[in-house]
Amino acid sequence: MSSYAEDIARWRQQRAQQQVVNRLEQIKVEHREAARERDQAIQDNDLDTAEYRDMDCEQLEREYAEIAGPQQPQADPRLVQFAKENRTFLERYGANAYAVLGQAHDYMMRPRRRDTTDPRLTGMGWNPRAVFTPQYFDKIKDLLEIHGPQLFGVQYDPNEQALTATEAAKISGLSADHYNASARQLWGQGRFSSQQKK
113-171 pLDDT per residue, tens: 999 888 778 889 988 888 999 999 999 999 999 988 988 889 999 888 877 667 777 88
Q: How confident is the model at residue 194 (pLDDT cuts 50, 70, 90)?
A: low
> Would you say residue 1 has pLDDT above 60?
no
b/e code 85-98 from CB counts within 10 Å (16+ = b) = bbeebbeebeeebe
Neighbours of 119 (CB within 10 A): 17
Whole-number average pLDDT of the chain = 84
The reply to whether the predicted model has a pTM over 0.75 is no
What is the per-residue pLDDT for 193?
61
> Which comes out higher in pLDDT, residue 196 or 41?
41
Domain boundaries, the chain: 4-68, 77-160, 165-195
22-49 pLDDT per residue, tens: 888 899 999 999 999 998 988 899 888 8
What is the per-residue pLDDT for 144?
93
d(C-alpha 142, C-alpha 46), whole Å: 72
